Structure 1
Amino acid sequence: MTYLKCGAALAALILPALAAAETGPSDGDQLVVTGTRAPDPVPADQLGASLTVIDDEALTQRQAREIADILRDVPGLAVSGIAGQTQVRIRGTEANHTLVLIDGIEVSDPFFGEFDFGSLAIDSAARIEILRGQQSALYGSDAIGGVIHYRTLLGSDAPGLRLRAEGGSFGTFNAAARYGGVAGDFDYAISATHISTDGTVGTRGGTRDLDKTTNAVSFTSLWTPAPNARIRIVGRWSETDSEFNDQDFTPGSPTFGFAVDSPGTFVENEAFYALIGGEVDLLDGRWTHSLTGQIADIDRDGFSNDIRNSGNEGQRLKASYVSSLRLGDDALRHTITFAGDWERERFRNTTPGGFAFTGRRQIRNLGLVAEYGLVANDRLAFDAALRFDDNSRFDDTLTYRVQGSYRFDFGLRARAAIGSGIKNPGFFELFGFVDGRFIGNEALQPERSEGWEIGLEQDFADGAVTIGATYFDSTLEDEIFTDFPPPDFLATPANRTTESRQHGVETFLRAQLGPQWRIDASYTRLSAEENGVREVRRPRNTANVAIAWTAPEERGGLTLVVRHSGSQTDSAFLDPSFVPTTVTLDAFTLVSLAGSLRLAEGVELTARVENLFDEDYEQIFSFTNPGIGAFAGVRARF
């Protein structure tokens, strides 16, 4: 009934406005960089894969402060988080099956093999590209579920000074500053963000508020020393300090297996990312050569009773060379691309106590990519990619991706894609050790996935309104899971011998009804099962709608966001054997309302209410989440 009511409300709002709707932005107006290894951005409506772009306008209207909140608005994505770790699952895959890029840099923690989305505060000018489906043919390991690419805007995209400050419930204060511009051949932007909160209670019946502080500074630049040459430099430093709670595993305790208040327990996460690259165009701009180098350096320390009791270090070095040749004319364009990626990941467990190996280990990988793209009359688009990976620890692998799109005269676009993916085990899965609880498995093999999708999108009112639907189907083999083998029943990872299947339907609506109204909505129906058993933390139904109204002459605006997550299962360790019990987490709906009022030219007062109806919900078993919160602040552009 919830979805029928939402659909009726949307129809009542949209249908009367269609007659008056003027042309608005469509996917064709969006240039994206994530769907190909060719250096040139491509129109989003020429990709056969499922792509969602959250632009700077949407981030501003919804007053998003952390990326995890805004990703709930994307079809096929499920967000689950507790203090200290926030995960995103795409189309029912695991959290570590998502490749995460920030300004082109791979940012997942090499030690754990995934990215903590709770550590990324949103800059004052940014956009997010979410590419769903197997993308290993382009990017290698980690891209089984898809790719999430967070991009800060250049100075030419958002020039001038932007400032933001805000405070509110739970002792929350956040601020952001950015300055960008163009000086001759040099395009640059520097930004800083700060979020701090005294937090709320994080356990059932608990009393301990969990505070959190996140700081980040980033720099992005593009220098064009000649008409056919470009040099790009990117840097980012971030630090997150977050209190969290442990689960009670004291034998005989009435709260055994439940999250409990854990004073003095917190995690510190510090990361540094950098990229430098150069491009040169030859043959009148038809042949582009690109060379980049990047680094990700991440340190994470955990504390219990204010004493450091765990830690790890991870470092990723990567160098890439891309050569892309463009042939043909506007009627028929061919793009032939070759790419080579060399990558070295180094890991170290720095946990004190002497029971865990604290030496360094490393894994190297060489990936070679061949990609061919075809565009005919800006209607038909075809792309095929093949990748070979030579890994120092695992067997050589071959992954592929084929996708196509065709737009008809009456505004219908049909698209399809098929591909394969791979995910190499992470350091913790291979070598991790927690005394008495967990031991790694050096015999693990990579997980492998194959899948396909087919979608239809229809434009109305000269592109002001677009609706779309996609069916997807994937099969995962050699899935890594946590086993509890006898006689000790000590947790250890292993590869499954059975298959895991994910399939479902994603639908969306996007509308720009004149200059005043913008609507973004989606619904996903997901089935994710392993050998016929439903997989945990994957709601079958997710839905959302964001309705933004802008006052005439941009004097302010209101944005209503409704996010629904259906019921889902989770694993609870309620038995001293540590063999998990499956529990069900109730469905929940979160409503937020954000508004702005122009005080003077370039200066706005902002306010928002989150969890408007004070929903009581859990994303992970026995870990609770904040209730209703109100925030107000000011933002300025000069």
Structure 2
Amino acid sequence: MLFLLPHPALAQDTDDAVIVVTGTRTPHPLEEALASTLVFTRADIEASGAQTLAELLEATPGVTVAPGYRGDVVTLRGLEPEHTLVLVDGRRLPGRVDGGLDLRRMTLADVEQVEIVKGPGSALYGSDAMGGVIHVTTRAPEAGLKADARAAVGTLPTADLSLGLDGGGARGRGRLSAELHHAGAVPAPDLPRTLFDATRQLDLHAQGAWTPGGLQLDASAGYLRQDDAGVDTNAAGAVFDRTTTTEQLSAAAGLGGTASRATWTVDGRWTLFHDIYAADQRGAKDGDAVQQTWAQLAELGAQADLSRGPHLLTVGVDGLAESLRSDRIDPDRARRLRGAPFAQDQWTLLERDDRRVLALAPAVRVDVDTRFGAAPSPRLALHSAPTEDLTLRLSGGRGFRAPDFKEQWLAFENTAAGYRVQGNPDLRPERSWGGDAELSWHPLDPLTLTASAYWTEIDDLITPTSVDVASGPLLFTYDNVAAARSRGVELGGAVALPAGLDLTLGWHLNDTLDREADRPLEGRARHQGTATAGWRWARTGLRATTRASLTSPRPYYLDDEVRYAPATALVDARLAWTSPAGPTLSLGVENLLGAGDAALNPVRPRELYAGLSGQLARQGDPR
């Protein structure tokens, strides 16, 4: 199982090589990855029973999934949600709210693979990749004619339904898919508010691939709608009925080919994000609010990979156009353009028996933005495999995060609370230096051990600050005044045992520091331990999986008081049976121990679920 590993995959359920692209922007086998890469294959996703990206990542060492202002957000190695870049098929996922992306809206029925690269990624991907990159790859269309379906119900209550249809031949093929998801609201104990919103989600996706004249042409389009409903309260005792409707429309196309020893790609993506937030105060009108946000993101990129002797040279350029229209910024429209050339040389210094023994990969990217100017981001990575059983990875580089539109242009006043917030258009990008070291050892064929260490320093952190005013409500703005450090160690081991058993263990130590306040960063657990156990009885089609995560108490600073969220143990279990006829029946339980704290660590309560999935396929004409 791969979904709990704090390091490159330690165990595989298949002999097929796992191909990754995120760490270098070029495809290569996982064992040759220059950066520490964690992979969830399609088999791992299905075995986990997870329905969303948030559920898949919630028990991964070095990865924290927590409720944010709007949904479940992710952080890597103790940094902030805005320091993690999330890609879908190589392009940015839009829709950040208060710095975080809601990973609940990324369902998994149409996902083929998820890669996580920890550490600075700005040298290849630019802004937001200071802590790392999460890359979601959707399922490619298959030749022939195939239909697949999955249905699941849970006791919260939840309900999920996904349908897919593939068709075509070797030269051209397509895929259509639809997903429906429903989850009931979870009320807070003894309070007139909800811990988790009621959610309804529809996700439609179409994808096609053609190979005209030796070229590769891909195109896709998608539509997502998510409706949330919940109840909030404030310190004065007012109760608000809150609804949120989020829509996302996207279209993408890419063209690639080969020439001699070079490969090239040109691709573009356009995304429209629309969000409507409404709050209705019970028994009064003072707190009523309706806010709309429109965001557009257009990306265009070109990349060429040239192989010459021991060198694989990658050069390219990314262009980005971003616009935002919102009731909460002044002016109510904001735009920016960004261009970024990048280059990387994967230099094989030593090779033995067609196996790469020593490689060095310098890379650099320069982002030029119409709002803040230029931000260069270099990186140097080293990969050493002196024996087939031992691999060392070292990397270090510069990262940055561009200030978002809210931080630059926010205009908001809370007259009841007596304060207002004004953005700062003169903000500078946040900058970081980071380094990683990882050692992977296979002393025995069924056993893998890994150890890694990291250190990240961030300067010019953007934080809210107060401004002296002669009269009127308190004024807050944003400024580059803070600095932080995150360092740690990750240990892991995996072993394949007789009788179809496999076991994976992981431990993560995270030491953070707010350099301005001289205290640990809020909400970070110092220790995290994980375990997963799997058992497969191939003759009967049975597969059992249990995964667990234990996190130590986490500090929160509330009104100059330090409070700690209690230690949390999350345990999930799943049993699946694949019948000789093909369909798979699954039964499982999420949060078996009922962990969670309503005040500081809300976790969805224990849920039992059952699912049924299957597919029908007919071999198509290979022409």
Alpha-carbon RMSD: 2.7
Cα 1:421/1:289, change in 2 over 3 Å: same
* Structure 1 residues without counterparts, runs of 5 or longer: 1-9, 11-21, 254-259, 575-579
- Report how far residue 420 of structure 1 moved: 0.7
- Distance in structure 2 (CA, Å) of the matches to 1:174 and 1:637: 17
* Structure with the bigger percentage of strand: 2
What is the distance in 2 between the residues matched to 1:482 and 1:385?
Answer: 34
For residues 427 and 363 of structure 1, the distance between their equivalents in structure 2, rounded to whole angstroms, comes to 9
Partner of 1:109: 95
Please give the secondary structure, in 2, of the residue aligned with 1:96: helix
For the 8 Å contact 1:200–1:625, the answer to whether it is kept is: no
TM-score norm. by structure 2 comes to 0.88
Equivalences for 1:44-55 in 2 at 5 Å?
44-55=30-41
- For 1:210, which of 172, 192, 197 is the aligned residue? 197
> Aligned match of 1:56 in 42, 59, 65?
42
Q: Are residue 374 (structure 1) and residue 347 (structure 2) matched?
A: yes
Report which stretch shifted further, 136-145 or 522-531: 522-531
Give the drift of 1:427.
0.7
Shift of 1:110: 6.1
In the alignment, which residue of structure 2 is the partner of 1:323?
304
The 2-side partners of 1:582 and 1:299 are apart by 38
Higher relative contact order (CA 8 A, sep 6+): 1
Partner residue, 1:231? 217
**3-state secondary structure, aligned to 1:226:** helix
Q: Give the distance between the partners of 1:485 and 1:36, measured in 2 at CA.
A: 44
Q: Which amino acid aligns with 2:438?
A: G
SS of structure 2 residue aligned to 1:58: helix
For 2:274 and 2:399, the matched residues in 1 are separated by 28
- Distance change (3 Å), C-alpha of 1:616 and 1:422: closer
Whether 1:444 and 2:427 are equivalent positions in the alignment is yes
C-alpha deviation, 1:321, in angstroms: 1.1
* Deviation sequence 1:220-271 (CA, Å, 0-9, x none): 33221133x1111122221211224435143xx5xxxxxx8x4521211111
Deviation at 1:204, TM superposition (A): 5.9
Counterpart Cα distance in 2 of 1:175 and 1:486: 55
Residue from 444, 447, 464 that aligns with 1:482: 464
1:86 corresponds to 2:72: yes
Q: Is the 8 A contact 1:388 1:397 kept in 2?
A: yes
Partner of 2:284: none
Q: How far has the Cα of 1:515 moved from its partner?
A: 8.0
Matches within 5 A, 1:401-440: 401-409=379-387, 411-436=389-414, 437-440=420-423
Equivalent-residue separation in structure 2 for 1:236 and 1:221 (angstroms): 12
Q: Which residue of 1 aligns with 2:273?
A: 298
**Which range moves more in the overlay, 558-567 or 113-122?**
113-122
| 1:84–1:118 CA contact under 8 A, matched in 2 | no
Q: 1:427 to 1:112 in 2, by over 3 A?
A: farther
Q: Map Cα deviations across residues 114-170 of structure 1 (whole Å, 9 max, x no partner).
A: 421122111155221001111111011111011101111213499832211111212
In 2, Cα distance between the equivalents of 1:546 and 1:537?
Answer: 25
Cα distance, 1:361–1:616 mapped onto 2, change above 3 Å: closer
Distance, in Å, in 1 between the alignment partners of 2:44 and 2:369 is: 40
Q: Measure, in 2, the Cα distance between the counterparts of 1:554 and 1:32.
A: 32
What is the deviation of 1:439? 2.5
2:439 aligned residue: 456
Q: What is the letter of the counterpart of residue 455 of structure 1?
A: E
The answer for the alignment partner of 1:347 in structure 2 is 324
Is contact 2:383-2:394 (8 Å) kept?
yes
User: Given the superposition, is the C-alpha separation of residues 346 and 216 from structure 1 closer, same or farther in structure 2, using an over 3 Å criterion?
Assistant: same
The equivalent residue for 1:624 is 602
Asked if 1:393 corresponds to 2:371, the answer is yes
Deviations 1:381-438 (A, max 9, x none): 3211111121111021211111111113250111100011010011111111222243
CA 1:203/1:98 → structure 2, altered by over 3 Å: closer, same or farther? farther
> In the TM superposition, what are the counterparts of 1:237-636 in structure 2 within 5 Å?
237-250=223-236, 262-283=239-260, 286-305=261-280, 309-328=290-309, 333-350=310-327, 357=330, 359-375=332-348, 376=351, 377-409=355-387, 411-436=389-414, 437-462=420-445, 464-486=446-468, 488-496=473-481, 498-513=482-497, 516-531=500-515, 532-553=518-539, 555-572=541-558, 581-618=561-598, 621-622=599-600, 624-636=602-614
Q: Which residue of 1 aligns with 2:22?
A: 34
1:430 counterpart SS class: helix
State the TM-score, normalized to the length of structure 1.
0.86
AA of the residue aligned to 1:277: G
Deviation at 1:107, TM superposition (A): 0.8
2:356 and 2:262 mapped to 1: Cα distance?
A: 21
Q: Is the 8 A contact 2:250 2:271 kept in 1?
A: yes
Provide the identity percentage: 22
Counterpart-to-counterpart distance in 1, 2:50 and 2:573: 11
Change (3 A) 1:132 1:615: same
CA, structure 1 residues 616+325, in 2 after alignment: closer, same or farther (shift >3 Å)? closer
Segment drifting more, 67-76 vs 472-481: 67-76
Q: Which moved more, 1:197-206 or 1:287-296?
A: 197-206
Q: How far apart in 2 are the matches of 1:607 and 1:349?
A: 44
Letter of the 2:25 partner, please give it. R
